């Protein structure tokens, strides 16, 4: 898509390790670019492995009332009536939602059967909030929010590489997928973070009375589970991982930020905004 055809832009961003610091989960270093996005009326859509409960709390802290995507593309949420105050509600009833992947109860049923077959792992459903907190660095209240899931399940693999390959085969047979995130594998149905791109192109095209091709998508992410979202965007921004090498994309317009986490997020978007606005 040629940039000259784009009339309005939207941002889709990963959170952990991207907008949020990998170690302390803070976004302070990105405040300047977040403020400028709001001034230019550019929606900043969180597209994350986090749960609804986690995201609405974070949106309140950051003053973000845009739609959002949870659990690696499994569920989308838009405040009803597009009301500013509704955008900060913690009640799912105040949002129009779409669960586009396998429901949580079906995932737990699959994991129970897999464990009966001898596969070794430990998932969030197996862990009390205190253990999730210890594994993630979240406090116990945040860990409890992370356990409130609707369509995906993080797990720690405890078997060897050979049994992991057998587990992946079983997953494919059940038309599920296993995505590797920053800390955990994520079991989920047939969706990913890229699922949100077409949806929000159409949503904002309707909002702005434009053709979907006139809605440009900037995507920011740092992990393998962000790859499809980045590749399918108009302007991918790779945030260097806190550890290891940054993602390498095939997209010709790829920008790689100079720093990990929110500092890199801020730098890349400030440079982009200066060029376009």
Task: Examine the domain organization and report whether 141 and 214 are in the same domain.
Answer: no
Whether 266 and 157 share a structural domain: no
d(CA 137, CA 134): 6
Residues 84 and 197 in one domain: yes
Task: Give CA–CA dist 125/131, Å, rounded.
Answer: 11
Q: Is 77 helix (H, G, I), strand (E, B) or coil?
A: strand
Using one digit for the tens of pLDDT, what is the confidence trace for 62-73?
999 999 999 989
| 231 CA to centre of own chain | 15
Residues 173 and 210 in one domain: no
Structure tokens at 246: 């940054």
CA distances from 74 to 149, 176, 188, 219, 221 (A): 10, 12, 8, 17, 17
> Which tokens belong to 255?
């920008």
The answer to whether the CB of 25 falls within 8 A of the CB of 48 is no
Rounding to the nearest 10 degrees, give the CA dihedral for residues 252, 244, 265, 214: 30
Q: Are residues 87 and 215 in the same domain?
A: yes
Which token pair is 28? Answer: 């302070």
Same domain for 196 and 91, yes or no, is: yes
Q: What local confidence, expressed as pLDDT, does residue 16 receive?
A: 92
Q: Considering 156, 188, 220, which residue would you say is the last residue of a domain?
A: 188
Q: What is the CATH number of the domain that holds 134?
A: 3.30.980.20
pLDDT given for residue 2 in this prediction: 43
Active site residues: 14
| Judgement on whether residues 206 and 176 belong to the same structural domain of the protein | no
pLDDT in tens, 221-241: 998 889 999 999 999 999 998
What is the model's pLDDT at position 1? 41
Domain that holds residue 260: 3-100+192-276
| Residue at a domain's end among 159, 188, 217 | 188
Which one of 135, 169, 188 terminates a domain?
A: 188
pTM: 0.86
Q: What is the pLDDT of residue 182?
A: 65
Placement of tokens 């693999």 in the chain: 157
Task: Label residue 140 exposed, middle or buried (CB < 10 Å: 0-12, 13-18, 19+).
Answer: middle
Three-state DSSP class for residue 37: helix
Q: State the Rg of the chain over Cα.
A: 18
What residues of the chain score a pLDDT lower than 50?
Answer: 1-3, 84
What is the distance between the terminal CA atoms of the chain, rounded to a whole angstrom? Answer: 19
Same domain, 126 and 257: no
Residue-wise pLDDT for 105-152, tens only, equals 999 999 999 999 999 999 999 999 999 999 988 899 999 999 999 999
Predicted confidence at residue 82, as pLDDT, reads 53
40-62 core/surface letters (b: 16 or more CB in 10 A; e: else) = eebbbbbbbbbbbbbbbbbbeeb
Query: Are 35 and 110 in a shared domain?
Result: no
Percentage of the chain beyond pLDDT 90 is: 79
User: For the chain, how many structural domains are there in total?
Assistant: 2
Helices (H), the chain: 31-39, 52-62, 104-116, 129-136, 140-146, 161-173, 195-208, 227-232, 261-276
Between strands 215-221 and 235-238, the pairing is parallel
Same domain, yes or no, for 137 and 251? no
CATH assignment at residue 210: 3.40.50.1000
Q: Same structural domain for residues 31 and 148?
A: no
Q: In this structure, are 66 and 202 located in the same domain?
A: yes
Phi-psi region of 175 (alpha: psi -120 to 50; beta: other; left: phi over 0): left
């Amino acid at each position: 898509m040629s940039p000259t055809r784009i009339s309005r832009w939207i941002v889709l961003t990963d959170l952990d390790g991207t907008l949020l610091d990998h170690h302390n989960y803070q976004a302070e270093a990105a405040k300047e670019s977040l403020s400028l996005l709001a001034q230019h009326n550019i929606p900043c859509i969180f597209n994350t492995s986090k749960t609804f409960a986690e995201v609405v709390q974070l949106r309140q802290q950051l003053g973000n009332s845009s739609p959002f995507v949870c659990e690696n593309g499994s569920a989308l949420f838009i405040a009803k009536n597009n009301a500013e105050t509704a955008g900060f509600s913690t009640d799912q009833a105040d949002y129009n939602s779409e669960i586009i992947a396998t429901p949580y109860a079906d995932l737990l049923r699959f994991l129970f059967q897999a464990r009966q077959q001898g596969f070794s792992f430990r998932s969030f459903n197996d862990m009390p909030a205190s253990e999730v907190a210890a594994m993630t660095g979240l406090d116990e209240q945040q860990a409890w929010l992370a356990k409130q899931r609707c369509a995906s399940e993080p797990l720690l693999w405890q078997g060897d590489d050979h049994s992991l390959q057998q587990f992946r085969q079983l997953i494919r047979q059940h038309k599920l997928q296993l995505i590797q995130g920053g800390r955990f594998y994520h079991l989920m149905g047939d969706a990913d973070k890229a699922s949100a791109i077409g949806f929000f192109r159409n949503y904002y095209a309707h909002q702005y009375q434009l053709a979907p091709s006139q809605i440009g998508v900037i995507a920011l992410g740092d992990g393998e589970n962000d790859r499809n979202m980045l590749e399918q965007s108009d302007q991918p921004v790779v945030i260097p991982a806190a550890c290891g090498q940054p993602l390498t994309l095939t997209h010709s317009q790829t920008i790689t930020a100079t720093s990990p986490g929110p500092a890199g997020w801020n730098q890349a978007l400030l440079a982009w905004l200066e060029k376009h606005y």
